[in-house]
Chains A and B, each alone.
Chain A
């Protein structure tokens, strides 16, 4: 495993994403939009509806979970397209003909997808924290963000969710035989996160709780490690070259 080769491939992926507006929109537009929209909701609730701040703080806490979902959502598009686009444009064959191992190629794609997802997520989160504290500081009397639960969500669960989603995207795009199937399958990693979020909304679990978020982060990290191993093990260059439509 030569890391410089993976980095070379990652740099090419960055160059590709840089000119791809849809990828940039998903990677940065989505988290930045969320980072602006959520504080606006709180501002509206506190300033206009005069909802007591004590009733708002649980809602604010649960917003952290959105950033875990965003970190998992961004790679669905980028990880699938990084392999699918290579296949459609037939650039995968010359790439596979070079003395580069499957793992080096995949790690390069992981680096690009993960970096983009996490940078986008963190930019959105930074905007979110800044605006949220600006909106709520005078009512609460202290800066609500960052806090332990938010830190765990952002620095442990979000990266794990991103790797999990990236690995799943690579796994699905290298196993199925069409883009549509790859994209449909790649949504699967979002399902457990959405279920967790709904459970939080139904008060079945407390998504503001740092311990629960730590368990979520551990669960996602284990899933990410397993799917990563699986995706590199089943990446079959022959199948991609001969069976893709």
Chain B
């Protein structure tokens, strides 16, 4: 649904986004993870045709962001939740949604049914006629999400949807995103919240002006940090250590009664090593696999370690 190729944006000599290439499949949640100033919002703005690119290519739903006719089609395909809700505070939530539904050229009957459905789903219906200025931050964010969905777009683009929300409100928004994911919406999610990215995204791209890494959350952890197998023994005697060494693992260390192994294919090698240890008279208390967390991966990449 979304594809970029060497997408680059410079502002007066400063490169905000540099050679960004990624793709988001239909129904996929793609989390763009990066620190402040990493170019996440600039990327979203280019994809939503709000600002131009300096070089590279991007298509949304098959339409190029360079094509003037295509940009109108792209805007219809996308529902945007910007980093700041940007609602008309003097209007009620209902009127806000009505206004945007019409701007998105949605048939009147569909707008009203969509608004009712969305507001009920997001638990806003009871206060639909109250001015938005009387809403809490969490409620405003829900209205912003409803506004992005009022024309029933194929793609939802969300820029830091839980930033500045209290934990409860943030959780409600995350649950809403999970519901949208279950509905099969294509979602591009900008966040600097690692936990959020991991919980919500099918694929994560780590951005710091350049795309540093991209992949499934688990694969990223494995790719960057590898996987370690820790075998806890009653006693790690010389015979047992020698048996492990004879299996030629990529790397192994012994600390007290624990042997930590780095293996090429843990699924195949671990059972063989366990058998060797047992054959050498070792008594195994536990076997665990560990890997670096997404946070470790993120910090390693962002800090350039």
**A interface list, Cβ under 8 A from B:** 5, 8, 12, 15-16, 19, 89-101, 237-238, 241-242
Contact = CB atoms under 8 A, between A and B. Distances in A.
A241 B48 CA distance: 13
B261 interface: no
Q: Categorize the interface residue count of chain B.
A: 20 to 34
B30 interface: no
A19 B131 CA distance: 12
A65 B274 CA distance: 99
B118 interface: no
Of listed A89, A98, A101, residue having the most chain B CB within 10 A: A98
Of listed B52, B88, B144, residue having the most chain A CB within 10 A: B88
Given A12-B88, A15-B90, A94-B147, A241 B103 contact: no
Contacts of B87: 89, 91
B85 interface: yes
A226 B198 CA distance: 54
Given A19-B90, A90-B84, A99 B50 contact: no
21 contacts: A12-B99, A15-B90, A16-B88, A89-B88, A93-B86, A94-B100, A97-B48, A97-B50, A97-B75, A97-B78, A97-B80, A98-B75, A98-B103, A99-B73, A99-B75, A99-B76, A99-B105, A101-B72, A238-B51, A241-B51, A242-B51
B110 interface: no
B104 A90 contact: no
Contact of A90 (B45, B51, B86, B147): B86
B164 to A, nearest CB: 13
A242 B44 CA distance: 13
Nearest to A2: B105
B91 interface: yes
B102 interface: yes
A97 B104 CA distance: 9
Interface string B64-99: 000000001101101010101111111100010001
Given A94-B147, A99-B76, A89 B89 contact: yes
Given A97-B80, A238-B52, A242-B51, 7 more contacts: A89-B88, A97-B50, A98-B103, A101-B72, A237-B50, A241-B45, A241-B50
Interface of B: 11, 45, 48, 50-52, 72-73, 75-76, 78, 80, 82, 84-91, 95, 99-100, 102-105, 144, 147
Nearest to B71: A99
Nearest to B88: A91
B82 A94 contact: yes
Contacts of A97: 48, 50, 75, 78, 80, 82
A15 B91 contact: yes
A54 B57 CA distance: 75
A117 B56 CA distance: 46
Contacts of B48: 97
B13 to A, nearest CB: 14
Contact of A98 (B82, B84, B100): B100
Contacts of A8: 99, 102-103
B66 to A, nearest CB: 14
A200 B110 CA distance: 59
Contacts of B100: 94, 98
B103 A95 contact: yes
A237 B11 CA distance: 15
